[in-house]
Amino acid sequence: MTKSPFIIAGALIFWSWQTGLWWLGLPLALLAELPAYLNGHWELSLKERQRVADLCSIAVVLSAGYVYINQPPFGNAVIRTMQWSPVIFFPLFAIQTYSGRSGIELSVLFLSLRGNRFGGNELVNLQPIYLVLCLIGAAMQLPSNDISYYQGLGMMAVWALLPMRRQNRIPFTWLLNFSFAIAIGFSMSLGLTLLQAELEEYIIAWLADSYADDTDLYRSTTAIGDVGRLKLSEQVVLRVWPDKPLFLSPLLLRSGSFTSYANGVWVTNRVSFNALNSNALGWNLLSSNGQANNWVQIAMQLDRGKGILPLPNGNQTLQGLKGAQLIGNNFGTVQVTEGPDFAQYKVKYGAPFTQSQPQTHDLRTPAIERPILQQTIKNLGLKKLNTPQILDRLQSFFQQQFKYSLHLPTPPLGQSPLTHFLTQGRTGHCEYFATAAVLLLRQAGIPARYVHGWSVQEYSDLEQAYVARARHAHAWVLVWSNGAWQDFDSTPPLWGTLEAEKRPWWGIIQDLWGWAHYRLATQNEPGQTNNLWLIIGLIVLISLLTWRIARHGKRVARIRIATVTETTVATIFSPIEHVLSLRTRARLKGETLRNWLNNLQVKGEAGITELLALMDLYYRQRFDPVGLSVQDTKKLQHGLKTWLANYQ
């Protein structure tokens, strides 16, 4: 491959073609070929070469971390980093190219071989490695129907391998055989792609059947029946900017509503989702008929561009998410089926939810719970009260006689968790309170639904916004009152304060990380501060590092001897190399001494075995900063002098 002219420049141009990064690929291609036309080279010390390698390693970690913060998941960070690997590792490749060396010491590439470790001075040619990096980088995230990569890969392979064919082989025959190999490889790649697609569909279908609770929009499992402490995360999942400060009560953002309950599981009837249409004013939701005067802006991360949007009660118009695809149902659930990784939208809302009228299932209670429901209604005297009075009585009942806790008491054997909650335990979290309130209202003849979503109540000075953490996930009630679905929260209002008091000491670190993630993910969004200063800072830093390394480098003129061999400085091996060049053939450009001697030994040249035995000492004398001991120096000089006396 060393005989292939402009092979690295061609690989970089090919990488630019596939990634669209022409503004980077073309200058790098020019820089890669420029040393061949310079009258000299740039010699860096071993320590400086190691610093360049360390800088490339740090760049890999920073690039992967930046992409992971900006565009998770981790797999995407790996793909993007591999795509940019020709840029990240170009400084290391340039060290070899501009120094005129045939390779880079292994101690430069591996920390474990530094400090005069055995094998650290062995040279490795980075040209084929960098060529492979360019080809791999060009292959990242290709369109499924694009075969241009395979065409370009075939051309690059011919370009690299054609000069290496046997000289007695007819070029046409070689090209024909190589074309068959490329066709077979392309067919296998296409078959593997189709097989991967089939396996993905099978696995997704299997997961959907096995874990319906986690993938079904129509089903939600409450935590009723789980014994022990529920572990909730401090991670910020929503950022909210309401038009008015939330002084008196939290803002409830609904994700889904559910109608049927049995054995701790809430399920809604199967309803169809319809595509929502957008216009100049935004997305028309029309979940209520009243006047909408309130606004709230929400920011959240989606799972690969998909997810359910938390919305306030009575939402009518949604602005933002241009180019996304939204679907909704009559229960007020809105889902993004295709959109950005990070969603920012604004919702206009006002009058309560009226889109879905009460149905028979909104009055249904499970038979196993009816005795305790009827007894509780009788004890509270709810039968003769109207809906507002019943709601006030239930609110007082739960706030005065119950306690909020994440530590759930164990119900007696044979008693349902809900019955134990209403009779003996009197302790639970929001899902207990919401479930009990829904079923009591239904038993009293009032339509009600179980809903879950987020309770927005915490203001962050760091982000200048209200935030909803994972522990702010909440469940409450939609009750049919005055011709609309009204929010009714039966959970004692101090539940948020109780959970906040148990926040771990490292919560501020998690908040800083989440804030940085959000800022990086939305840096190009309208209304966000442009982080051009960050890019300028990185450019200045890289320029300073480049200047510092270049200042410590040593520019050396090229030395050309009568043979084809090129070397940087005259060495004690030069006389022997001159003798062998006259007797057999000169060392090729880019061919290491060890490889040259190995090739001569294969051809049966005399005296090569003795020279190979001296190569380790010679490389240490040339490249080891410590050098050789006096005894090893004498051994090397005596061996070379003896060889010249015997074979000159």
Query: What is the average pLDDT across 35-51?
Result: 80
List, in sequence order, every residue forming a beta bridge with 221; answer none if it has no partner. 265
Q: 158-186: per-residue pLDDT in tens?
A: 777 766 666 555 666 667 776 777 777 77
Query: Is residue 9 predicted with pLDDT exceeding 50?
Result: yes
313 in any annotated domain: yes
Q: Count of domains in the chain? A: 4
Query: Is residue 78 predicted with pLDDT exceeding 50?
Result: yes
408 in any annotated domain: yes
**pLDDT confidence of residue 230:** 43
Query: Is residue 418 predicted with pLDDT exceeding 70?
Result: yes
Instruction: Retrieve residue 123's tokens.
Output: 């040279």
Question: How many CB atoms neighbour CB 391 within 10 A?
Answer: 20
Residue 348 vs residue 269, higher pLDDT: 348
Residue 344 vs residue 567, higher pLDDT: 344
Same domain for 205 and 241: no
118 in any annotated domain: yes
Query: What is the average pLDDT across 535-544?
Result: 59
| Secondary structure (H, E, C), 106-165 | HHHHCHHHCCCCCCCCCEECHHHHHHHHHHHHHHCCCCCCCCHHHHHHHHHHHHHHHHHC
Same domain for 390 and 431: yes
Percent of the chain with pLDDT strictly greater than 70: 79
Q: Which of 348, 349, 318, 360 is nearest to 336 (CA)?
A: 318
Contact call for residues 108 and 49 (beta carbons, < 8 A): yes
What value, to the nearest 5°, has the Cα angle with vertex 130 and ends 124 and 131? Answer: 120
Query: What is the average pLDDT across 479-506?
Result: 84
Query: What is the average pLDDT across 61-67?
Result: 81
Provide CB contacts within 8 A for 636, sequence distance 6+. Answer: 572, 614, 617, 618, 621, 628
Q: Which of 582, 575, 613 is nearest to 597 (CA)?
A: 613
Using CB atoms within 10 A of its CB, is residue 134 exposed (0-12), middle (13-18) or buried (19+)?
Answer: buried
Phi, psi of 584 (to 5 degrees): -120, -90
Q: Which residue has the tokens 């000289």?
A: 167
Q: From start to end of 491-593, where are the E strands? A: 554-556, 559-560, 566-567
Mean pLDDT estimate for the chain: 79
Same domain for 385 and 253: yes
List, in sequence order, every residue forming a beta bridge with 317; answer none if it has no partner. 284, 348
Instruction: Retrieve residue 45's tokens.
Output: 């010390």
Same domain for 180 and 226: no
Query: Is residue 211 predicted with pLDDT exceeding 50?
Result: no
- Please list, residue by residue across 522-553, b when 16 or more beta carbons sit within 10 angstroms of its beta carbon and e when fewer do: beeeeeeeeeeeeeeeeeeeeeeeeeebeeeb
Q: Which of 190, 208, 212, 211 is nearest to 200 (CA)?
A: 208
543 in any annotated domain: no
Same domain for 306 and 422: yes
Percent of the chain with pLDDT strictly greater than 90: 17
Question: How many CB atoms neighbour CB 219 within 10 A?
Answer: 16
Same domain for 77 and 28: yes
Question: How many CB atoms neighbour CB 78 within 10 A?
Answer: 14
Same domain for 271 and 367: yes
Q: Picking from 54-63, 401-410, 493-502, 528-537, which range would have the lowest pLDDT averaged per residue?
A: 528-537
Q: How does residue 563 score in pLDDT terms, banded at 50, 70 and 90?
A: very low
139 in any annotated domain: yes
Same domain for 327 and 422: yes
Picking from 182, 210, 238, the residue at the C-terminal end of a domain is 210
**pLDDT confidence of residue 530:** 47
pTM above 0.75, yes or no: no
Contact call for residues 84 and 77 (beta carbons, < 8 A): no
Sign of CA dihedral 562, 568, 574, 577: negative
**pLDDT confidence of residue 299:** 93
2 in any annotated domain: no
Sign of CA dihedral 92, 93, 95, 101: positive
Rounded CA-CA distance 600/278 in Å is 75
**pLDDT confidence of residue 374:** 93
Q: Which residue has the tokens 């606004």?
A: 295
Picking from 210, 245, 264, the residue at the C-terminal end of a domain is 210
Q: 421-471: per-residue pLDDT in tens?
A: 898 888 888 889 999 999 999 999 999 999 989 999 999 888 889 999 888
Q: From start to end of 217-353, where are the E strands? A: 219-221, 228-229, 236-242, 251-258, 260-262, 265-267, 274-275, 278-279, 282-284, 294-301, 307-308, 315-320, 325-328, 334-338, 342-349
**pLDDT confidence of residue 541:** 58
Same domain for 48 and 143: yes
Query: Is residue 228 predicted with pLDDT exceeding 50?
Result: no
**pLDDT confidence of residue 446:** 94
What value, to the nearest 5°, has the Cα angle with vertex 255 and ends 333 and 389? Answer: 95
**pLDDT confidence of residue 225:** 47
Picking from 179, 210, 241, the residue at the C-terminal end of a domain is 210
**pLDDT confidence of residue 200:** 53
Same domain for 196 and 142: no
Residue 232 vs residue 484, higher pLDDT: 484
What value, to the nearest 5°, has the Cα angle with vertex 20 and ends 16 and 22? Answer: 55
24 in any annotated domain: yes
Q: Which of 547, 611, 602 is nearest to 573 (CA)?
A: 611
Q: In terms of residue numbers, what domain contains 197?
A: 167-210
* 315 φψ region: left (φ > 0), alpha (ψ -120 to 50), beta (else): beta
Q: 334-361: per-residue pLDDT in tens?
A: 889 888 888 899 998 887 877 778 888 8
Query: What is the average pLDDT across 120-141?
Result: 86
Peptide bond before residue 73 is cis, with ω within 30 degrees of 0: yes
Rounded CA-CA distance 259/174 in Å is 71
Q: How far is CA 136 from the centre of its chain?
A: 19
- Please list, residue by residue across 314-340, b when 16 or more beta carbons sit within 10 angstroms of its beta carbon and e when fewer do: bbbbbbbbeebebebbebbbbbbeebb
Q: Picking from 4-18, 177-191, 239-253, which range would have the lowest pLDDT averaged per residue?
A: 177-191
Same domain for 303 and 420: yes
Same domain for 491 and 343: yes
List, in sequence order, every residue forming a beta bridge with 274; answer none if it has no partner. 328
447 in any annotated domain: yes
